[in-house]
Amino acid sequence: MILGIDPGSITTGYGIITEERGELRCVAYGILGASNKTSFSERLLKIGVGLQELFTQYKIHAVVIEKTFFAKNVDSVTKLSHARGVCMYEAARAGVEIYEYNPTEVKMNVVGHGRAGKDQVQIVVQQLLKMNSAQMAKFDMSDALALAIHHCLISGTMQKIREREITT
């Protein structure tokens, strides 16, 4: 299973996919974090605890995290970096290999256009995973699933997953 993470300072999206019989399948997806009225440290704690629960519940083989992008607001980038750090820490703590990709390359591979909008990414992700549009309310979730799909497509991970599932 591949866990995609779209880190954020308020909410962090996650999506877990696997491959069955040559097709990608969504196992789980959602949001980790709390409202922006919650203290920043408490939001980071909720992200960490949520990831611990995912690592306990699912047999994750790879974690894919979105790289930090350049932004004009230093405070936003700093908070985003803290959220990424929590995600990377929890993945390392769980002993899972971490991969990082920038949003442009993910969009190029999954959607076919590096500057695709979040709505376009969501539509393609829903099509690839055979999900109906009512299932996914937030772009954080579809972005996380897109990261996992991208990694699966470019790394040959589907074959590795099959091999691991046969031996376990």
Q: How far apart are CA 105 and CA 125, in angstroms?
A: 15
In which element (H, E) is residue 56 found? Answer: helix 40-57
**Beta-carbon contacts of residue 144 (< 8 Å; ≥ 6 apart):** 4, 5, 6, 13, 14, 15, 29
pTM of the shown model: 0.88
3-state class (DSSP) for residue 2? strand
- The active-site residue, picked from 19, 90, 140, 143, is 140
Report the number of distinct structural domains present in the chain.
1
Task: Report d(CA 2, CA 10) in Å as an integer.
Answer: 23
Residue that has been written with the tokens 């709390």 in this structure: 34
Q: Other CB atoms closer than 10 Å to residue 114's CB: what's the count?
A: 13
Using CA atoms, how far residue 166 sits from 95, 100, 136, 159, in Å, is 21, 27, 31, 11
Report the amino acid identity of residue 22.
G
SS3 content of the chain, % helix, strand, coil (to 5): 50, 20, 25
Catalytic residue among 6, 19, 90, 143: 6
Which one is predicted more confidently, 156 or 150? 150
Whichever domain contains 35, its CATH number is 3.30.420.10
Question: Quick one: pLDDT at residue 44?
Answer: 94
Q: Is 140 a catalytic residue?
A: yes
Strands 62-66, 11-20: parallel, antiparallel or unpaired by DSSP? unpaired
Contact predicate 60/54, CB 8 Å: yes
Please give the distance of CA 165 from its chain centroid, rounded to a whole number: 21
pLDDT in tens, 62-113: 999 988 766 677 888 888 899 999 999 999 999 999 999 999 999 998 988 8
C-alpha 9/C-alpha 4 separation (Å) is 16
Domain that holds residue 156: 2-167
Per-residue pLDDT reduced to its tens digit, 12-47: 999 999 987 778 999 999 999 778 888 999 999 999
Indicate which residue of 19, 66, 90, 143 is catalytic.
66
